[in-house]
Structure 1
Amino acid sequence: MTKIYTDLNPTERVLLGPGPSMAAPRVIRTMATPPVGHLDPALLKIYAEEQELLRYVFNTKNEWTFALSGTGTSAMEAAMANLVEPGDAVLVAVIGYFGTRLAEIASRLGAEVDKIERPLGEIFTVEEIETALKAKSYKVFGFVHAETSTGAEQLHVGEIVKAAHEQGALVVMDTVTSLGSIPVLVDEWDIDITYSASQKSLSAPSGLAPITVSPRAQKIIQNRKRPVSSFYLDLNLYANYWMNHGYHHTASASMHYAFREALRIAYEEGMDARYARHRQNAELLWAGLEEIGAPPFIPAEYRLPPLTTAVVPDGVEPHVLRAKLLNEYNIEIAGGFGALADKVWRIGLMGYSSRRENITLLLAAMQELL
């Protein structure tokens, strides 16, 4: 018997979770453009423009600035795999789930990993990190700028990076949620490797992971005596692919069309205006959540504009409300991680999703359901 497959017709959703965000219609339309070969001169021109736009959103002049063919986790692994060798000492500052993942990756690479941790919802002071860095000679220090699991922004980045460099450590910073919605100042902060993902505050489909590497880190990677443990994530090979157009892998032209268009939108809006839009819309959401009895979990001074954790009111079953939002209103939000699983909802206002009409719709729906 021949099986009949239905047409692809998924329900349209208002994506207000921790990612992916909604993609602008312009971005979606570009994906209908016929693909070309992965080394076609027309695509190489797109790559060059994409690199310029990535340097703009990262606020950097780094030569090694490009997108990996993979999700944000691929860039997290690439950052560690290219700097860390077996036996190296690595320090990771953990303020949530994704800091723990960064430490896990370093451990699997054979590093001697130390972690410093804050309770969920808190961030580190410069002094706490500085004290930890002085305890041992670390090769790499890693941390998450915007912790997606809690909605907290690690502040004082420039001072933290300076303290790490004074102790001789290279710095890896995760900006998977923050890039494109709050300032990420790679050159000003002197970060060694910074990475992100295409599907959150940059509002392209998932599948590409932007990464930028400082000249200091680039030199170390180029002069390694031991090959990078991952062939696919070897940044030397990626740089040769992007800069010299040597074969490395078969990239998706359609994904790069979409990502370049999303970056163009960010460029046209301007980063300062983009940061201001995310802040203004977040404040509107925060005020509305207070009014309906589901206040933000994170203190205002380090609360993330693109990702809010809202406290579940007493007596409310969080997963039932989420299911009703999805099934009755076509609105997606997410639950909490780990210890916060039944205590908070995670609401994303990232990129194209960060619009007043989405906030009004969500708050009205939540108020009715509550």
Structure 2
Amino acid sequence: MTEPLLLTPGPTPIQPDAQAALHKPMLGHMDPQVFELNARIQRNLRRMYGAAEGAFTALAAGTGSLGMEAGFANLLEPGDEIVVCTNGEFGERMAEMSERYGARVTRIYAEPGRAVDLEEVRAALASEPKLVAVVHGETSTGVINPAPEIARAAFGRTLVTVDAVTTAGMMEFCMDEWGVDYAYTGSQKCLSAPPGVAPIAVSARALEAVRARKTPVSLWYCDFEGMQAYWDRRQYHHTVPVQLHYALDAALQAALDEGLEARARRTITLNAAVAEALLPLGFSHFVENPRDRLPTVLALRLPAGLEDAPLRAALRERGISITGGLGATAGKIWRLGLMGEAARPEHYRRLFRELAVLLGARDLEERFEARLAGCALSH
């Protein structure tokens, strides 16, 4: 049987050390060895996020969407003002969650395929809302937003939450330097661990804002103070998924050992090589401005006449999964994942071999290899 290959924008193929770690013997979530494991994870998450020593890092026991919701549950109270940057499915999810927690939401819109306008955000920050939220890499459209500039513009006046789901662990992320107060990702994205835990980082400013709340945090499960009781003070809060902690620890250590700069170069180079191979077939960049293109998710418009669903179904029969568009872009674009273990030339060689057969395109691999050779990335 052909081994399945995930080239989606999440989940990604599991990193080998993480796969092996899943087979470690089960321990109780209050075992001293597990607390030592957790402490190492916390230290390494500070490195990955570029967080200050006083930041609280942890794993929320759920996927990235729980990481998103935990931030709003802790940092927003009914009636608080928040500015949400929205140019895709996940920015809009941020806005919806904020509204459910009773916040007054100002949306800064950009069309799908375009980054949010920094000057519009700056103008909205003049009213000094409690929070501004932005998706760093919008998974649904392959756009990178100016999260560092937004955080710097808000610093000292407004708390900043950043969705780092398709950036942290694969691209530069400097939480303390930029002035980010809350960041989160999903284990199954850039780190290539199994889904089920959401690595989070909370600044000292954000923790102080939680302590100053007038109302209790409405999400008990991820109340930051309750989570700190377990992670920092080693007190019982809830049962954590120990095996997923093992796997995340291994994947995170592998990422740091490779080096975040090296991982960023890997995804940028591979993104360019994949596009170079496909553009002559009539594919085109969905994100027109090169500055706004997210390296870890390559979004391409389909050639005229190419039927999306049948071709992706044919690839699935050959063991390869790729992802189409969401919402308004369904049937119009492909979103190719270039995060973690998906960002390996051998995986895209396999895709191009199959596409060559399905589309009758002989030169796919040759163009791909030529671009890789020019950038000295072959493995």
Per mean C-alpha deviation after superposition, the further-off stretch among 122-131 and 236-245 is 122-131
1:358 aligns with 2:347: yes
Aligned residue in 2 for 1:313: 303
Aligned residue in 2 for 1:110: 102
Aligned residue in 2 for 1:266: 255
1:68-122 Cα deviation digits (max 9, x unpaired): 1110000100001101001111110101100000000000001111111111100
Tell me the TM-score normalized by structure 1: 0.94
Cα 1:117–1:367, aligned 2, differ >3 Å: closer, same or farther? farther
Determine the C-alpha separation between the residues in 2 that align with 1:11 and 1:283. 27
Q: Decide whether the 8 Å contact of 1:181 with 1:305 is kept in 2.
A: no
Aligned residue in 2 for 1:58: 49
Cα 1:150–1:320, aligned 2, differ >3 Å: closer, same or farther? same
How far the C-alpha of 1:151 sits from its partner, in A, is 0.3
Amino acid at match of 1:282: N
Q: How does 1:119-158 map to 2 (within 5 A)?
A: 119-134=111-126, 136-155=127-146, 157-158=147-148
Question: Which of the numbers 231, 237, 244 marks the counterpart of 2:220?
Answer: 231
Determine the C-alpha separation between the residues in 2 that align with 1:187 and 1:367. 46
1:86 aligns with 2:75: no
SS at match of 1:221: helix
Aligned residue in 1 for 2:34: 43
1:72 aligns with 2:64: yes
1:240 aligns with 2:229: yes
1:326 aligns with 2:316: yes
Aligned residue in 1 for 2:366: none
Determine the C-alpha separation between the residues in 2 that align with 1:326 and 1:80. 37
Q: Decide whether the 8 Å contact of 1:21 with 1:199 is kept in 2.
A: yes
Per mean C-alpha deviation after superposition, the further-off stretch among 29-38 and 217-226 is 217-226
Q: Decide whether the 8 Å contact of 1:96 with 1:149 is kept in 2.
A: yes
Amino acid at match of 1:107: E
Determine the C-alpha separation between the residues in 2 that align with 1:143 and 1:16. 25
Aligned residue in 2 for 1:17: 8
Q: Decide whether the 8 Å contact of 1:238 with 1:248 is kept in 2.
A: yes
Question: Kindly, what percent of the aligned residue pairs are identical?
Answer: 40
Determine the C-alpha separation between the residues in 2 that align with 1:159 and 1:279. 21
1:165 aligns with 2:155: yes
Q: How does 1:177-326 map to 2 (within 5 A)?
A: 177-298=166-287, 299-326=289-316
Amino acid at match of 1:369: L
RMSD between aligned alpha carbons?
A: 1.4
SS at match of 2:284: coil
1:282-335 Cα deviation digits (max 9, x unpaired): 1111111213322321132221111111111111110111111111x2111111
Unaligned runs of 5+ in 1: 1-9
Determine the C-alpha separation between the residues in 2 that align with 1:79 and 1:301. 28
Amino acid at match of 1:133: L
How far the C-alpha of 1:11 sits from its partner, in A, is 7.0
SS at match of 1:124: coil
How far the C-alpha of 1:224 sits from its partner, in A, is 1.8
Q: Decide whether the 8 Å contact of 2:110 with 2:117 is kept in 1.
A: no
Unaligned runs of 5+ in 2: 360-379
How far the C-alpha of 1:272 sits from its partner, in A, is 1.0
Q: Decide whether the 8 Å contact of 2:133 with 2:160 is kept in 1.
A: yes
Q: Decide whether the 8 Å contact of 2:133 with 2:161 is kept in 1.
A: yes
1:107-142 Cα deviation digits (max 9, x unpaired): 0001111111111100123212111222x3411110
SS at match of 2:155: helix
Per mean C-alpha deviation after superposition, the further-off stretch among 170-179 and 57-66 is 57-66
Per mean C-alpha deviation after superposition, the further-off stretch among 267-276 and 289-298 is 289-298
SS at match of 2:190: coil
Amino acid at match of 1:125: D
